[in-house]
Amino acid sequence: MSITEKLFSRLEEKEGRMIEIRRYLHENPELSFKEEKTAQYIADFYKDKDVKVTTGIEGENGIVVEINGRNPGRTIGLRADFDALPITEETDVPFKSKNDGVMHACGHDGHTAYLLTLGETLIELKDEWDGTIKLIHQHAEEVPPGGAKSIVASGILDDLDEVYGIHLFPMYETGEVGLVEGNAMAGRSNFNLHIQGSGGHGAMPETTIDPIVAGSHFVTQVQSIVSRRMNPKHTTVVSVTAFEAPGGQNVIQDKVTLRGTVRYMEEENKVPIHDEMVKILNGLETAFGVTCELDYIYDSPVLYNDPEKTQAAEDILKNSKGGHISNIAHHDPSSGSEDFSYYLQKTPGTFINVGAKPDGVENAYINHHPKFDINEKSLLISAKVLGEVALSRLENE
């Protein structure tokens, strides 16, 4: 029996416990940078196992588990995130979140469950493979600056030769594995804009400096950044997602706040979008007499899947004999973002999409929805996919 067959067999035996772990984590979600109990749960899982566990990386909740095989060799990184979202859960599952206003609405509970189980199995088989595997249990994927940034900055992953990760998506059929070469997910920046005017009576606008009118012009003009300043062949998005100006009908507000997000599929557009926004705000200050304060946050870079490593992963999975993959698809790039991009900036690898559509559902709720759910069959699929890729890359390179 090959090492991959042994891995698959043991993972199949552990599928029930994998699901139990996922449900426990789903019941006990924690927000980004506040995942103390989840981090302790993960660390405790490896407590009596023959591995090196590093916790509290850069004073945060990330954990890296180092598994050394029988002989020295190459080093592969495998990552799963474990933070939840500030969403009130609306599902009817018996393992619904016990923490009001907090929910695993992006599948990170499933990511952690399959990586814990895969890690345990790789430890059991470590006398049968060469090299090193580092399991990256990452905190705070959902909130800037993201947990990946600090883990990479710590230097603990400097020896990686390749890095791989998986994300579960219920919009894809369970059994489908999706790959994207090159720029696969957008870079992300977020902004908060405060426009200060001079309020007053709604019946006497001439005595005021109206920040609402200035803010309205900003909402309109900022759309021209994409349509008139960016290369039309590039993918860029600028969205104003909040306009906060609470008050009564007869009061012109003194100050308004706008919030929004920026996405770009080409890293070269990261700074120019910000610079164009500043030009618009300079014009608003001149035209309306307001003062603009822009808090612009550069977040995750463009996620770039190394073409060679992506093709190698596809070749491995096309020849898999586990029976767990029904379809290998080439997915389109996504305007969503992921801080797995920080690992890929430093180390070549690829980020793999795994379908997780619940059985009997035609239109599944997408990630970040209060009724989001996954097909738990996708956990075993993910563990097999990531495990086979890692072992094959260690063996064949």
| Residue 139 annotated as part of some ligand binding site | no
Q: Which of 35, 60, 81, 83 is catalytic?
A: 83
- 1: number of Cβ within 10 Å: 7
Token digits of residue 203: 């019946």
What tokens does 148 get?
A: 């990946």
**106 labelled ligand-binding:** yes
Return the residue matching tokens 């981090």. 39
* CA-based end-to-end distance of the chain: 21
Distance CA 85, CA 96 (A): 14
* H helices present in the chain, as ranges: 3-13, 15-27, 36-45, 108-124, 147-154, 211-221, 223-224, 270-288, 307-318, 341-346, 377-396
Question: Whose structure tokens read 């952690």?
Answer: 112
141 labelled catalytic:
yes
According to the annotation, is 234 in a ligand binding site? no
**332 to 182, 329, 335, 353, 376: CA distances (angstroms):** 11, 10, 10, 11, 24
Query: Could you count the other beta carbons within 10 Å of the beta carbon of residue 288?
Result: 19
Round to whole Å and give the CA distance between 302 and 281.
Answer: 26
Q: Is 167 annotated as a binding residue?
A: yes
* Distances, alpha carbon 215 to alpha carbons 28, 78, 186, 359, in Å: 40, 45, 27, 46
Task: Please name the residues in contact with 44: beta carbons below 8 A apart, sequence gap of 6 or more.
Answer: none
- Which residue among 35, 141, 176, 210 is the active-site one? 141
Compute the distance between CA of residue 380 and CA of residue 115 in angstroms, rounded to an integer. Answer: 10
| Secondary structure string (H, E, C) spanning 200-262 | EECCCHHHCECHHHHHHHHHHHCHHHHHHHCCCCCCEEEEEEEEECCCCCCEECCEEEEEEEE
Q: Is 299 a catalytic residue?
A: no
Which tokens hold the place of 349? 């690898």
Per the annotation, does 108 bind a ligand?
A: yes
Residues designated as active site: 83, 141
Numbered residues of the known binding site for Mn(2+): 106, 108, 142, 167, 368
Numbered residues of the known binding site: 106, 108, 142, 167, 368
